[in-house]
Structure 1
């Protein structure tokens, strides 16, 4: 096994690929851009590394993403040799371009949601049909909830329904335009300002204190993110021990039009993938359901409980 690993790494380009993909999950086109090489050349090196078991590939509709093996012998091997792979000038440049690509992804997502904010409720209805998502979320709030948080609150439809179930609510979104509409909604319903707080921020670096909330929800948001696992890790950080999280997102599908019309990055998730993300973040799965909605899509609704963080 180790001989196959060493053979796969016996090339400068493949070393560069492994170095990048130990830090990020990236598509073939993004890797072509980073390495400034032809696609056929990059694909050949990716195939060698994948066949050796050092990389994993994930197909999402028409896109294929690569990352370093997250577990097992290959993962352990890469961890062991990492100290002997100091980043040279080329590798440092690779990482700079990769970081720029991720920043570009986030910027495009913000621009997209700012542009369609006024139409977002109508677009949501096209997908959800008669499914009352805000009611489902409100029903998941535990009794005596001190603070409820909507992560990716959008125009505030869910946030408004959380108010009767919690002492206070916090809405977080990366789009300033969405938050403007959310504030107008709450002001229109004469909600006292002391009952809610709207905060702009990214879901992988939330503008909330540790353990600030008893309940959090993240609805139809993970499929827009580059790193859903990071967002769930942040959700765990801001929840009190024993706090509840409701994740609502699409079951894995193949509708490519969701990328252009709704800005989706992931075409849904397999239930075991989301469960694995939750467990990795420190949650225990409590309940899992599926519901049919519009456009031939299905929703996953996962309820999880935050375990207390491990002491060092």
Structure 2
């Protein structure tokens, strides 16, 4: 009986500890080992038991395998119940604090990349995309929006295009000071434009501040994509649209050497699952082949 397997998986304190951590964060084995301070073989054995019980899910990204608590399926209530009983345990709260440090290390690697890549970003992007311009995919869907947020605006290429197309209020957000500096050099002074520094997982925006939000080749740089999507939902007005373009999952790790990133793209199921759990109504998906035998996928969703 499946329920016996699940209760056996939960009967070990170490496995409960791992499940609690992975309910809050998706981590690879090396990161998990650093958090719980156990040998890798022991961690891998416990992860296998939790996986076979259906309490965890895993995904391969390049040479790493990432683990997270199962967010779907009939056993979701069991995961939630177990983690709720553990949420005030002092030792597990210390685990979460150490896990936050792993996430900070990931983010710092991305910031170091953009510190040097910002002046060359437009050229690096063309090296991967060829002649394809993802901005043209967004523009037809922004006609009715009065306030548009470009999240991960980079060097301001999309904002410059929108400034030329009528009097809309534009908000550009990026975590990299160096990328925002490039955007300031490119963009003219305008009362309709504001650039803000901040993480996509913690947007420097008010609730329901925008009619449309877009992310163009940004999500693969974000350590916690689902949190970023939840933030988009928060800052959009009811009926607002979310436009996302990002790489379809691939296995070309060398692409990270050109344009950085935490993820090697996403499957349609990953993106649609995150949007669905957040509350978005996914309206349209379309894919476009680009350079380096890669594919960009466009998602149109509505709050």
Report the TM-score range of the alignment, normalised by the length of the smaller protein: over 0.9
CA distance in 2, matches of 1:174, 1:83: 33
Q: Provide the C-alpha distance between the structure 1 equivalents of 2:87 and 2:130, rounded to a whole number of angstroms.
A: 53
Aligned position for 1:214: 211
Q: Secondary structure at the match of 1:113?
A: helix
The question of whether the paired residues in 2 share the 8 Å contact of 1:142 and 1:244 is answered with: no
> Secondary structure at 1:66's aligned position in 2?
strand
Residues 169 and 56 (structure 1), Cα distance of their counterparts in 2 relative to 1, 3 Å cut: same
Give 2:32's aligned residue. 31
Tell me, yes or no, if the aligned pair for 2:146 and 2:169 is still in contact at 8 Å: yes
2:3 — aligned with what?
2
Cα distance in 2 for residues equivalent to 1:19 and 1:134: 40
> Contact 2:153/2:173 (CA < 8 Å) preserved in 1?
yes
Which residue is 2:79 aligned to? 78
Q: Which runs of 5+ in 2 are unaligned?
A: none
Q: After alignment, is 132-141 or 112-121 more displaced?
A: 132-141
Residue number in structure 1 paired with 2:263 = 266
Q: Does 1:178 align with 2:179?
A: yes
Give 1:50 deviation, angstroms: 0.7
Aligned to 1:301: 298
- Asked if the contact 1:133/1:158 (under 8 Å) is kept, the reply is no
Alignment correspondent of 1:161: 161
Q: Distance in 2 between matches of 1:295 and 1:90?
A: 46
Query: Is this contact kept in 1: 2:23–2:83, CA < 8 A?
Result: no
Q: Do the aligned residues in 2 keep the contact of 1:148 with 1:162 (CA within 8 Å)? A: no
Give the stretch that moved more between structures: 265-274 or 177-186: 265-274
**Contact map agreement 2:247 2:294 (CA 8 A) in 1:** yes
Deviation, structure 1 residue 87: 4.8
Q: Deviations over 1:16-74 (max 9, x none)?
A: 11111111111111001111122111111111111111111111222111111112332
Q: 1:262: how far off?
A: 2.1
SS in 1 for 2:201: coil
SS of the residue corresponding to residue 261 of structure 2 reads: coil
Number of the residue aligned with 1:141: 142
Show the 5 A alignment for 1:78-117: 78-85=79-86, 87-117=88-118
- Rounded to whole Å, the distance in 2 between the matches of 1:44 and 1:285 is 38
Structure 1 stretch displaced more, 86-95 or 294-303 = 86-95
> What is the aligned-residue RMSD (CA, Å)?
1.6
Distance, in Å, in 2 between the alignment partners of 1:174 and 1:52 is 39
Report the counterpart of residue 245 of structure 2 in structure 1. Answer: 248
**Separation in structure 2 between the aligned mates of residue 193 and residue 114 of structure 1, nearest angstrom:** 26
Give the CA deviation at 1:216.
1.3
TM-score by length of 1: 0.92
Greater shift in the superposed pair: 170-179 or 82-91:
82-91
**Distance (Å, rounded) in 1 between the aligned partners of 2:64 and 2:101:** 20
Task: Give the Å deviation of 1:258.
Answer: 2.2
Of 270-279 and 94-103, the range deviating more from structure 2: 270-279
For 1:4 and 1:89, the matched residues in 2 are separated by 28
Aligned partners of 1:210, 1:21: CA distance in 2, in Å? Answer: 28
Residue 205 of structure 1: which of 202, 205, 210 is its match? 202
TM-score, normalised on structure 2? 0.94
CA distance in structure 1 between the partners assigned to 2:248 and 2:19 by the alignment: 30
SS, match of residue 217 in structure 1 = strand
SS of the aligned residue for 2:168 comes to: strand
